[in-house]
Amino acid sequence: VLKVTSIHSRAQRDIAEKEAKLLSRLSHPSIVKMYNACYRTASQQQSGKRGKDQSNTGKERPQHLILMEYCEGGHALDVCNKLASQGQRFDLSTLIIAFGQICNAVSYLHAQRPPIVHRDLKPVNFLVKNGAYKLCDFGSAVFGHVDLRTPKARSDAEDVVQKTTTQMFRAPEMIDLFVTKKLTQSTDVWALGCCLYSLAFLQNCFEEGSNLAILSRKYTIPDDNPYGDGLVELIDRMLAVDYKARADMTEV
């Protein structure tokens, strides 16, 4: 499948190039494969239109192309929506296997030196191929820790967080940047906790705009939870407000 990104700014170009560079160095069965990456100029786009559309709007911009493996099963949110529409849920064994595959991918990222922090873990970024789940979309990823010790560092970090991460899956320290001196790979663990909740109960742990609920860890487990206390305890460990008390990927 071809991922096409129209380049409107230098920041977009940097994000696209970073994703391609990062994917080129990763090799894991639960991470989507990249085969090649290149640019397509505006003139090349126009050349491809000849014989079909002779008009030139003048609006074509350079495009960054990433050729990745095709995952025919869509993404995990598609699977969740289908189950919900049928009044069903994942059975426990399927849930454990699916979530375990994603955790294996994240553990692999965090084991790199410096650690790779995905920073945008959510069900739409878990693609499905032959029933297996694969992590994709590394445009938000960072290497190592993000320093927050100065006002400028916090301001820069806040700008990046706002532009490149998804609010419902942000850890508390990504919302209130004054509570810690650095952002670490622990932010991925929080997001995975939200993802596990979504996969298990087919609904969001926190809703859009729910910063106060995230900061106070205000969420509820459905009364009809079929998975037992073990899953609830795991979610609880992953959603510790204090990142130092939060589970790491080894524990998960």
Contacts of residue 75, Cβ cutoff 8 Å, sequence gap at least 6: 123, 124, 125, 126, 127, 128
Per-residue model confidence (pLDDT) at position 57:
47
CATH C-level class of 76-238: mainly alpha
Per-residue model confidence (pLDDT) at position 108:
98
Cα gap 15→126, rounded to integer Å: 20
Which part of the chain is CATH 3.30.200? 2-68
Instruction: Using a cut of 0.85, tell me whether the model's pTM lies above it.
Output: yes
State pLDDT tens for residues 190-228: 999 999 999 999 999 999 888 999 999 999 999 999 999
Per-residue model confidence (pLDDT) at position 115:
95
Per-residue model confidence (pLDDT) at position 53:
43
Per-residue model confidence (pLDDT) at position 133:
98
State pLDDT tens for residues 73-102: 999 999 999 999 999 999 999 999 999 999
State pLDDT tens for residues 6-17: 888 888 888 888
Q: Give which of 118, 121, 98, 119 is closest to 194, Cα–Cα.
A: 121
Determine contact, residues 158/173, Cβ cutoff 8 Å: no
Q: Give which of 28, 7, 44 is closest to 111, Cα–Cα.
A: 28
Determine contact, residues 4/68, Cβ cutoff 8 Å: no
Per-residue model confidence (pLDDT) at position 5:
84
Determine contact, residues 167/207, Cβ cutoff 8 Å: no
Place of tokens 């073990």: 230
Per-residue model confidence (pLDDT) at position 1:
87
* Mean pLDDT of the chain, nearest integer: 91
Cα gap 128→76, rounded to integer Å: 7
State pLDDT tens for residues 97-139: 999 999 999 999 999 999 999 999 999 999 999 999 999 999 9
Domain 2-68 falls under CATH 3.30.200: yes
Which part of the chain is CATH 1.10.510.10? 76-238
State pLDDT tens for residues 17-37: 889 999 999 999 999 999 998
Catalytic residue among 53, 120, 156, 223: 120
Q: Give which of 30, 125, 120, 131 is closest to 90, Cα–Cα.
A: 131
For the segment 146-158, the average pLDDT, to the nearest whole number, is: 95
Q: Is 120 assigned a catalytic role? A: yes
